[in-house]
Amino acid sequence: MFESAFALSDASRLLAGVVLLTVVTIEFGGAFLVRVASGKVPFTEFQKSFSRAGHAHAGVLVVFSLVALVLADATGLDGAWGWIARAGVPLAAILMSGGFFAAMAGKGRTEPNKAIALLYAGAASLAAGTLTLGIGLLAA
């Protein structure tokens, strides 16, 4: 019925499908934030700020992930480098947003717990994915 102007690799198509399915979880997170903002969930200011940051990072990085997948196919990278370019940003979306949420978990928490390490792992994944993708595009 419709012809595509470009075709995604199987790896990018698979990851894009999974990434798009995660939007539903971001929607549920938004509904939860409405409950937090309306005072229906007793959170500290720290927990509110980490919840907002986790939700925002998830949304932005999911959109960036979809763009990165299209760009990864333009690099011609394959093997391990191709997977780092394709999976680095989507993995960062999971780790960074999950790190914010997990680090603030617990009643009355006013500072992050040890799960903050997930946030740093996500930052490393984002750096690896974007650096590999950027270098791959420049070398293509």
Helix 79-103 with 45-75: angle, nearest 10 deg: 170
Q: How much is the average pLDDT of 34-63?
A: 94
Q: How far apart are CA 137 and CA 140, in angstroms?
A: 5
Cα dihedral across residues 100, 123, 56, 11: positive or negative:
negative
Q: How far apart are CA 107 and CA 109, in angstroms?
A: 6
**CA geometry: angle at 98 spanning 71 and 65, to 5°?**
10
Is the whole model's pTM more than 0.85, yes or no? yes
With cut-offs at 50, 70 and 90, classify the pLDDT of residue 3: low
Q: Which pLDDT value is given to residue 4?
A: 59
Which range among 36-40, 54-58, 97-101, 127-131 shows the weakest confidence by mean pLDDT? 36-40
pLDDT at 59 over 90: yes
